[in-house]
Amino acid sequence: MGKQGNPIEYRVLLCRYNEIGLKSLPYQKKLLTFLVEDIKKICLREDLTLQSVLTLSGRLIFFFPSNQIPKAITVFRHIIGVQSISPALSVERKYEKLKHKFVSYALSLLKDGDSFKINFKTAVSYAIKESDLKYDLSHEIIKSMKQSGRFVKIVQKNPQYQFSIEIREKGVYIYAFSIPTLFAGFPIETKNSLLCLWNNVEYDLIAAMMLVRRGSIVSPVIFHRDISSDSYKIPSNSRNSLEIIARYYSHPIPIHIFSLLEIEEEISGLLKPNQDIEQYIEFATMKILDILMLQSRKESVYTYNNRNLHYRGLISSNSLLDSNFFSNIKKFQILLFTPLSGLTPKFIQKISDQLFKSNEIFDMNSLIQGNTNYFSFNEEIIKSISINISNILEENESYQQKITKDISNYAELQEFFKNSENQKFLIKMIENHNVEYISGRFFSKF
């Protein structure tokens, strides 16, 4: 709240990124173009009026009507590729105007007994030295507070408020809060395209999110028995989780749907009575995934934002030791990601809570009350991995031992699917499978 209970009229969101800054300058420029393009599309989808954008060194600056800033904060906390955000005020570079706005802003937040410090960052030369600017502003704040019977102090460690001034090429930005995004990560790129097995809905969603935050386009693949050969629909228990993952993208993502009923019927008609159908079904699904990935790399079949998707690998929520799939996957030389391996149940539950909870308009009062301890994937994963690193190493070692064992009837399975008629059946499955493009929203459309 501003002075005398009036709300502070923020009009700017200042966004920071970290991983982009580690790349070469040409690649940085490309990634920032992708990121800004995605943010513009998401703002349009979420009914936010994005007025303008500035791409600066280490910062992205977004301008909104002041009444939309709380909603924009909620949306931006979900943007993949942004590390943290600050609601900010913009002001001209003339010092008198900067001083007036900065002191007024500080006085609207500080209470009797509070402590503060001033951070100063400039990307261009400025008429006043940093030390002189900090001294003048600090003492103006202390003097004004005393005049109203309130007392504050300057401290360098753990102050109640850290006021920041950033002087940029096109203006000055003033803020006091830095809000972490949920997943930070790397901007979305179509070159990073992966399939994800979608069976255990909650855990599959979390596993997919681990790769979404690395900038991947994740296309879920559903094999299920709830459909007939002529009706390929997304199962009702999967749709909600698919819409959750889709909302992190600016464009609809493809969902691949296969009928296990049809696969079973086709294979049962080809097998002898004493042959184990389950092994053949499992092998067939791996062959289908292998063909699907190969097809995507050779042909322009599946797209995102009018760009072709070339699937590079497969995501599974199973741990390395929990599934019979892994030996087959190894034989097919499919690049496999099992991002939940080694993560603690407590950490997985925290991610689940964030993904499945409903979104609310950001409460600006929570900033003033000091309630800025929001979920941050980067902070939580460090805690989780540091506690559980020995378990990860042990599991990986055990997996490496396991995959050296051959499947007893692998040659028989391989020979079966080399048959030209059986090959036709696999191609038929690919041709007949349904691809539904799905999108999501952070806020419901009214």
- Domain ranges for the chain: 3-180, 193-438
Surface-to-core class of residue 390, CB atoms within 10 Å of its CB (0-12 exposed, 13-18 middle, 19+ buried): exposed
Q: Identify the pLDDT of residue 379.
A: 72
| CATH number for the domain whose boundaries are 3-180 | 3.30.2130.30
With CA atoms as reference, report the closest residue to 260 among 283, 285, 241, 291.
285
How many of the other CB atoms lie within 10 Å of CB of 398?
11
Residues 180-209, mean pLDDT to the nearest whole number: 89
Q: What does the DSSP 8-state code read for residue 8?
A: P
Query: What does the pLDDT average to over 289-311?
Result: 90
CATH 3.40.50.620 fits 193-438, yes or no: yes
- Residue 166, beta-bridge partner list: 121, 173
Over range 317-321, report the average pLDDT: 62
How is residue 250 written in tokens?
């600016």
Contact 98, 165 (CB under 8 A): yes
pLDDT digits (tens, 9 = 90+) for 358-397: 788 888 887 776 555 676 777 776 565 544 444 443 444 3
Q: Is the pLDDT of residue 310 over 90?
A: yes
Nearest 5 degrees, angle CA 176-CA 180-CA 181? Answer: 135
Q: Where are the beta strands (DSSP E) in 260-323?
A: 303-304, 307-308, 311-315
Separation CA 445–CA 182 (nearest Å): 23
Alpha carbon distance 202, 354 (integer Å): 12
User: Which of 253, 220, 248 shows the shortest CA–CA distance to 235?
Assistant: 220
- How far apart CA 72 and CA 306 sit, in angstroms, is 27
220-273 pLDDT, tens per residue? 999 887 654 445 677 777 888 999 999 999 999 999 999 888 888 888 887 877
CA–CA separation, 114 and 109 (whole Å):
10
Distance (Å) of CA 283 to CA 109, 172, 263, 275, 414: 63, 61, 11, 13, 9
The pLDDT > 70 percentage for the chain reads 86
Nearest residue to 61 (alpha-carbon basis) of 71, 51, 75: 51
**Which pTM does this prediction carry?**
0.86
Closest CA to 84 of 154, 164, 9: 164
- Rounded to the nearest 10 degrees, the angle between the axes of helix 420-432 and helix 410-418 is 80
Instruction: Place 283 in a pLDDT band, splitting at 50, 70 and 90.
Output: confident
| pLDDT (0 to 100) of residue 271 | 81
Q: Which run of H or of E encompasses 54?
A: strand 52-56
pLDDT at 18: 79
CB atoms within 10 A of CB 243: 14
How many C-beta neighbours within 10 Å does residue 393 have?
A: 11
Task: Sheet containing 217-224: give its strands across.
Answer: 336-337, 311-315, 193-197, 217-224, 253-259, 434-438
